[in-house]
Structure 1
Amino acid sequence: MSSIIKSQNQNITYLYLNRPEKFNSFNREMALSLQKHLDDCIRDKNTRAIVLIGKGKAFCAGQDLQEVTNPDENPGFKKILEEHYNPIVTRIRNIEIPVIAAVNGVAAGAGANLALCCDIVVACEKASFIQAFSKIGLIPDSGGTYFLPRLVGFQRASALAMLGDKIDAFEAERMGMIYTYYSSETFEKEVEKLAQRLANMPTKALSYIKKALNQSLENGLENQLALESKYQIASAQTDDYQEGVNAFVDKRQPKFKGK
């Protein structure tokens, strides 16, 4: 059984975390497989949006602790971070395709932080987020100490990281951790609608938005203004910009191609 299942729906690529019996917790094989599938999406010119979602009741419970407690399988934390999670986070942030985290259930530990590093995070109403690291004597990894305070503020991030509180979807939306949540009955349809909406947008411009937001996390105002100028000029040279303007003048829906 493959630990990552790829499914294509028009211009949307769904990547399913597929270890439901382990609440989709990561082992080495699964982490490397997800990296490969993300790389495949980069090369696939038909992929205009990516959805990361879990099979079964969970999104992702983080690291499979059976792997790290088995002397014959334990790769060690250096490899786990530098070869498993960190490359996934950097791929998601650098890939020039919008990535949606569709959190269908519990997202704990590294699973929560892999969701939070995506471009848009939506959740099922039954989903929950847990910075579970402190409960076993660890610290948040997979970008947790980077993304969480930027999403919810320093004080709230500090408390969540230290206390390991379980946050439901309603509270996650209220504090700005996620974009929105959907009812269990409509979750899959709403995720598909959102992904299709992104896929039909000028995805070249979306990639420039992503790059600008990435750098805004470190830039001062003057540097960010210069960066906006650079990417705006580049966006104005795309076919999609011309199509957008023409469609506005003609009072019709634009047909963007990501070029």
Structure 2
Amino acid sequence: MSTSSSPEESDSLVLHTTDNGVSWITLNRPDAMNAVTWDQRERLIALLDDASADPGVRAVVLTATGKGFCAGADLKNAPAPAFGPARERVSGDVARTIRRGAQRLIAAVLDCEKPVIAAVNGTAAGIGAHLAFACDLVVAAESARFIEVFVRRGLVPDGGGTYLLPRLVGPQRAKELMFFGDALGAADAELIGLVNRAVPDDQVAKVAREWADRLAAGPTRAIALTKQLVNASLDSDRATAFAAEAAAQEINMTTRDANEGVASFAERRRPRFHGR
């Protein structure tokens, strides 16, 4: 069984700052290509939940230090008995580990009430790739690679991969990526819709900041409701999606930003949104 690190150690493994309404969350295990530990995962989930609740946060950027974005889960230090040989597994151990771990992390990104940008600085493999794909926007370094590494280890994809990829690129392309486990370059990932922009390596942070600043200056509640509608529409029929859209519009029209947007249009000026 792996031991939990102290709060100070956890904080050093996930750096966090808030700047101009943007929450910057940075994985910081460059020597391990940012393979996610239990403590890092819990810290990420907590920070995403905090971003939802904090009116001072209006956008989130998820990135990493070093040459890798995230090499996947840190199986070397995974809690027993799910992946370790510590004792004979009990039926349901693995499923519980996945539900409580990788799936909770991906759900935290999808459910965050603020837009989340992945600034992918390097290789994203396994759950690391899914962490990026769960974000609302993805900016990737041209040298970055995305790898559905599970099949190389004889494993089934987890962390929402079989949910995310078919919705992003269709079932046939998703199967190709998952069946073969080949590395996909950032430019090709952009072509098939897994990445919004592939940019020179030294421009990743710059582009992510520009996008985050634009989002942070936008109508925060309207963007949150839009995110919710788009994510839900993938699992909805037309009637349900239309009803949700109308309800979201009703809710949004009670916000200060919506009223400011209408007023600025009538007065022929740029709107000044405050995130409320």
Q: TM-score, normalised by structure 1?
A: 0.94
Q: 1:56 aligns with which of 66, 79, 85?
A: 66
Q: CA RMSD in A?
A: 1.8
Residue in structure 1 matched with residue 205 of structure 2 by the alignment:
188
Provide closer, same or farther for how the CA distance between residues 27 and 80 of structure 1 changes in structure 2, counting only shifts above 3 A: farther
- 1:244 matched to 2:261? The reply is yes
**Displacement after TM superposition at 1:178 (Å):** 1.4
Gaps of 5+ in 2: 1-8
Contact 2:221 2:275 in 1 (8 A): yes
Mapped to 2, the partners of 1:65 and 1:82 lie a distance apart of: 16
Residue in structure 1 matched with residue 175 of structure 2 by the alignment:
158
Contact 1:200 1:256 in 2 (8 A): yes
Residue in structure 2 matched with residue 172 of structure 1 by the alignment:
189
Q: 1:32 aligns with which of 42, 63, 85?
A: 42
Contact 2:17 2:24 in 1 (8 A): yes
Contact 1:28 1:80 in 2 (8 A): no
* Cα deviation digits, residues 48-72 of structure 1 (max 9, x gap): 0000001111100001132247656
Mapped to 1, the partners of 2:22 and 2:221 lie a distance apart of: 15
User: Which AA in structure 1 matches 2:67?
Assistant: K
Contact 1:99 1:119 in 2 (8 A): yes
Mapped to 1, the partners of 2:139 and 2:156 lie a distance apart of: 25
Gaps of 5+ in 1: none
**When the two structures are aligned, how many residues end up with a matched partner?**
258
**Displacement after TM superposition at 1:252 (Å):** 2.2
Residue in structure 2 matched with residue 123 of structure 1 by the alignment:
140
Residue in structure 1 matched with residue 5 of structure 2 by the alignment:
none
Mapped to 2, the partners of 1:91 and 1:19 lie a distance apart of: 21
- 1:92 matched to 2:109? The reply is yes
Mapped to 2, the partners of 1:96 and 1:40 lie a distance apart of: 10
Q: 1:21 aligns with which of 31, 53, 62?
A: 31
**Displacement after TM superposition at 1:134 (Å):** 0.2
Mapped to 2, the partners of 1:18 and 1:70 lie a distance apart of: 24
Mapped to 1, the partners of 2:48 and 2:205 lie a distance apart of: 21
Residue in structure 2 matched with residue 209 of structure 1 by the alignment:
226
Residue in structure 2 matched with residue 83 of structure 1 by the alignment:
100
User: Which AA in structure 1 matches 2:39?
Assistant: E
Mapped to 1, the partners of 2:181 and 2:147 lie a distance apart of: 6
**Displacement after TM superposition at 1:188 (Å):** 1.3
Moved more, 221-230 or 37-46: 37-46
Mapped to 1, the partners of 2:215 and 2:51 lie a distance apart of: 15
Contact 1:120 1:179 in 2 (8 A): yes
User: Which AA in structure 2 matches 1:26?
Assistant: V
Q: TM-score, normalised by structure 2?
A: 0.88
Mapped to 1, the partners of 2:225 and 2:142 lie a distance apart of: 31
